[in-house]
Copies of this chain bind each other. A is one copy, B any other.
Amino acid sequence: MEFRDQALAARDAAQVLAVTPTGVKNAALHAMADALLACTEAILAANAEDVRTAEANGTSASLIDRLRLTPERIGGMADGLRQMAGLADPVGDVVRGWTADNGLRIRQVRVPFGVIGIIYEARPNVTADAGGICLKSGNAALLRGSSSTYASNLAVVEALHQGLRAVGLPETAVQLVAGPREVTDVMMTARGLVDLLIPRGGAGLINHVVQGSTVPVIETGTGNCHLYVDVDADLDVAYAIMLNAKTQRPSVCNALETLLVHRDVADAFLPRALRGLDEAGVTVHGDERTARVSKAVVPVEEGDFEEEWLSLDLSVKVVHSLDEAISHIRRYTSGHSETIVTDSRTAADRFVAAVDAAAVLVNASSRFVDGGEFGFGAEIGISTQKLHARGPMALLEMTSTKYVVEGNGQVRA
């Protein structure tokens, strides 16, 4: 099917979904989960095909690992859909409402966007996750996955369609967008057909979508996250948070990338910190002051501060003041999550007010900046943009609003 026809079918499906009761959407999510499990064999066979092609193309082992499905991973996808069924449905919520002096009753009500396009890389689990979050929020999904996972994605979507059919919802509520590379560009400029685009993947994909789209985009972005150890920090707290934020899962966007240490606590903190990092297998890219502490320190280069390492690497710098820390963060932040460790209320308040990011943390690990940890359930990503959604983008952020104005014949004077 041509993209335009798919998009028009999605619009029709969106009109159905917008008025589908929560109970029916939840039943669909459970039926989709059942169908995923029932189709495990077919999905694994399709996935094996994708893996063979990827191996023949010389794809890296880590990419193949992201691409490969197992019965456990399919079970995880099904569990994700069942959890989605358990979350509150934001559609229909009244955001605010009042009665005007002239008797008009005005309500701002949550409604789905309509048609949401998701453009993503080689992770077949995104197909089920994104389909589920769109369905629960009443949106039709146009899923544009990587061509390297096409067979897997198709098998997953066929299972999702079985679930939709089981409860009488249109299959066109969740569609896989096929076709050559140019189709992505058609999707990005389908203004009026697609209400919102969400790219999920690396910086290259996100930039391509942001630069080329005329459809509104939510940027789920990179995380160049900083931790500032203040002069008034509890150094045990700082040590625990540093190790957790850097090493608990280094490949994710809320992991730590740069450590800033106030010079007056550098002597007390750095030797222990560098020892701990070394034991955890972290390569420290440090400034001169840091390098004096340990021979293992690699000299930090200016460009390193712009780096989202996503690996067991950490940039470290000693600063003269809270203000210097704030200036450094202002210059290099990607606007994701920034942390201060301090016992000073004044320093914490100043840091929170001055640092411009989706999340600003005081005495806690940035690894908590996550839809699940915030109690929102599943998320489609962490938005680093300021428009519409900032931070974890969960069900609530997958909705728009409309005003409903009810009167008994009011006209404007």
Q: Quick check: is A388 within 8 A (CB to CB) of the other chain?
A: yes
Q: Are B364 and A406 in contact (CB under 8 A)?
A: yes
Within 8 A of B (CB), among A101-135: 104, 106, 108, 111, 113-114
Task: Check B402–A360 contact: CB distance below 8 A.
Answer: yes
A83 within 8 Å of B (CB atoms): no
Residue numbers in B under 8 Å from A359 (CB-CB): 402-405
Inter-chain contact A18/B402, CB cutoff 8 Å = no
The B-contacting residues of A in range 368-406, CB under 8 angstroms, are 368-369, 373-375, 385-388, 390-391, 400-406
Is residue A94 contacting chain B, with contact meaning CB distance below 8 A?
no
* Inter-chain contacts of A216 with B (CB < 8 A): 216, 385-387
How far does the Cβ of A117 sit from chain B's closest Cβ, in whole Å?
13
- Tell me if A166 counts as interface (CB < 8 A to partner B): no
B residues within 8 A CB of A229? none
- Given A114-B356, A216-B387, A386-B195, A363 contacting B106 (CB threshold 8 A): no
B210 touches A113 (CB 8 A): no
Least CB distance from A75 to B in Å reads 22
The answer to whether A412 has its CB under 8 Å from any CB of chain B is yes
Which residues of B have CB within 8 Å of A367?
A: 411-412
The docked-state distance in angstroms from the alpha carbon of A111 to that of B352 is 11
- CB pair A409 B241 closer than 8 Å: yes
A98 at interface, CB cutoff 8 A: yes
Number of interface residues of A (CB under 8 A): 68
Distance (whole angstroms) from the CB of A60 to the closest CB of chain B: 28
In angstroms, Cα B409 to Cα A190, docked, is: 47
CB pair A405 B360 closer than 8 Å: yes
A412 and B375 form a contact (CB under 8 A): no
Say yes or no: A402-B357 contact (C-beta < 8 A), given A210-B214, A248-B411, A411-B244.
yes
Contact (Cβ within 8 A) B363 A248: no
Residues of B within 8 A of A108 (CB): 391
> Could you say how many copies of this chain the assembly holds?
2
Closest B residue by C-beta to A109: B352
A46 CB–B CB distance under 8 Å: no
Residues of B within 8 A of A369 (CB): 403, 405
A368 and B412 contacting across the interface, CB-CB below 8 Å: yes
Residues of B within 8 A of A364 (CB): 104, 405-407, 409-411
Once A363-B409, A412-B368 are accepted as A-B contacts, the answer to whether A358 and B403 lie under 8 Å apart by CB is yes
CB distance from A325 to the nearest CB of B (A): 15
Interface residue A234 (Cβ < 8 Å from any Cβ of B): yes
Whether B104 and A368, one on each chain, are in contact in the complex, defined by CB atoms closer than 8 angstroms, is yes
Alpha-carbon separation in the docked complex, A220 to B402 (Å): 15
Is B407 a contact of A19 with CB atoms below 8 Å? no
Q: Give Cα A240–Cα B412 distance, bound, in whole angstroms.
A: 10
The answer to whether B390 and A388 touch across the interface, beta carbons within 8 angstroms, is no
Bound together, the chains give a CA A353 to CA B109 distance in angstroms of 11
Is the C-beta of A15 less than 8 angstroms from some C-beta in chain B?
yes
Flag if A358 contacts B391 (CB, 8 Å).
no
Interface residue A354 (Cβ < 8 Å from any Cβ of B):
yes
> Bound state CA distance, A406 and B365, in angstroms?
10
30 A-B Cβ contacts within 8 A? Answer: A15-B354, A18-B353, A100-B375, A104-B364, A104-B368, A111-B356, A113-B387, A114-B356, A191-B210, A216-B385, A216-B386, A236-B409, A243-B411, A244-B412, A359-B402, A359-B403, A360-B402, A360-B405, A362-B404, A363-B408, A364-B406, A364-B407, A364-B409, A364-B410, A364-B411, A365-B412, A367-B412, A368-B410, A368-B412, A373-B412
Q: Could you list 14 further interchain pairs (A-B, Cβ under 8 angstroms) beyond the known A361-B404, A368-B407?
A: A100-B375, A106-B374, A114-B386, A191-B210, A211-B214, A216-B386, A218-B387, A237-B408, A240-B409, A243-B411, A352-B404, A360-B403, A390-B401, A391-B402
Smallest CB-CB A-B distances: 4 pairs:
A364-B407, A244-B411, A386-B400, A388-B388
